[in-house]
Amino acid sequence: MVKHSILVGAAIVVMAASAAAQTPAPVPPLPPAPPHPPLAVVAEALADLEFDFDLDFDIAPALAGTNAALASLEVLGLQEPGTKESAKLAREMAEASREVDQATREYNRATRALDRARYEEALQAFEKVAAMGGRRADGALYWQAYALSRLGQRAEALAKLQDLQKKFPSSRWLNDARALELAMKTASGQTVSPQAQDEELKAMALRSVMLNDPDRAVPMVEEMLKGASSPKVKEQALFVLAQSGTPQASEILARVARGQGNPDLQLKAVRYLAMFGKPENRSVLAEIYRSSPDVEVKRHVMQAFMMAGDRDRLLEAAKSEKSPELRAEAVRQLGVMGAQAELAGLYGTEVSAEVRRQVLQAMAISGASDKLAALAKAEADAALRRTAVRNLGMMDSKKTGDVLAQFYRDDKDPGVRKAAIQGLFMQGNAGALVALARQEKDPELRKEIVSRLSMMKNKEAMDYMMELLK
């Protein structure tokens, strides 16, 4: 495997430190990361990485195998590993590869501000989210009210809660809203201090009680989940609950995962069902997937299937799901799991060119270079061959360098041949490119190869440049 980049290493260190500070109890390991994902997946992960964050398990699937693919940026020879320029390049490619869900990103930033008792900052961010509309608008209104209450602006907070009830009469945030209203009335209109430290102490005390007396702690956790606590405290309470493994705790966790409560916590509960999983939790997750109309919930359930090692349910979703977005997610998670046989079978039966393209990408995520090359060689569709070759270029050059060179020599499609050149360039395979340049009779294609070689900081490439100058 290609060694870690400094950038990714730093991110992992930050996440590990944050996790140690917040959740000292051990967390079950995720499935082993596949060795060679395509750059598109890494770009997606990098676009979401921010270096001022608490541990967020949402990014775990996206981060699988990040080191290998980011290193493929570094072998270009354009920049040294871990430099600001390589990170900038990765982010630019990310921005070009997908649309960013701005509302979700702003919402997450706002909740992190709440966690740090930066209420003015959180208020402004949630106002933006509410103005955008969409599925997070009601949650944004609730958290605006919460931030205002922490700032001592009781009247403004109550007005936000009324606005929430008026605009979203069926919102799942209404129970939280009633709890917050009660808490504010109990405070008798007095200015409320941030009390961030007090909440941290409560969370630590709760973990201690759960370890020593779970029967006593579980009802306390349930009340905390229903109350007007901050996002961090509620998430930590849910995490402690999930770790306990008691029948009552499992029942509450499943109830939250089914959507009976705070919508933000639902997604966390889905994940924890997989992380702290008993066999019966898979059935609960499957039930949630069948019954939920929410695409985001279904996507999180798929990630939970991956964490739980449930290939069968992911394969079924990849075959039968009506939503193109969810089918793509199922295929991607199969790749993260390394489900090569399942992916190969799906490719052989699937008629949709788009789904077949996604399977090829997932094959690359799984590290299945041999299977990917075989599918590409047998594929009649030139566009799909180009996709396969591009993904081969994101993989280990020792395994795929010769394959790419052979595609260049044998394939008649100009796009496939250019994809092979690009793949060898991404791998830093100057030797193969020099050999192809010497053999190539077509001046345009030779120019294409030489242009790539001219950008590489590589002795073989430089020797060939000197050869051309003689």
More reliable by pLDDT, 191 or 282: 282
What average pLDDT does range 283-307 have in this prediction?
91
Could you tell me the two tokens for 168? 């979203």
Please determine, for residue 66, whether its predicted confidence score (pLDDT) is greater than 80: no
Could you tell me the two tokens for 312? 């069968």
Query: What confidence tens digit (pLDDT) does each residue in 118-170 have?
Result: 899 999 999 999 998 888 899 999 999 999 988 888 889 999 999 999 999 98
268 and 235 Cβ atoms separated by less than 8 Å: yes
Distance between CA atoms of residues 12 and 19, nearest Å: 10
Q: What is the predicted pLDDT for the residue at 305? A: 92
Please determine, for residue 79, whether its predicted confidence score (pLDDT) is greater than 70: no
Question: Residues of the chain with pLDDT > 90: what percent?
Answer: 26
pTM: 0.63
Count CA atoms closer than 13 A to 416's CA, side-chain side: 22
Distance between CA atoms of residues 16 and 54, nearest Å: 9
For 205, the 3-state DSSP assignment is: helix
Distance between CA atoms of residues 114 and 116, nearest Å: 5
Q: What is the mean pLDDT of the chain?
A: 76
Query: What confidence tens digit (pLDDT) does each residue in 25-43 have?
Result: 443 444 443 333 333 433 3
Query: In terms of C-beta density within 10 A (0-12 exposed, 13-18 middle, 19 or more buried), how is residue 286 classed?
Result: middle
Residue type, 369: S
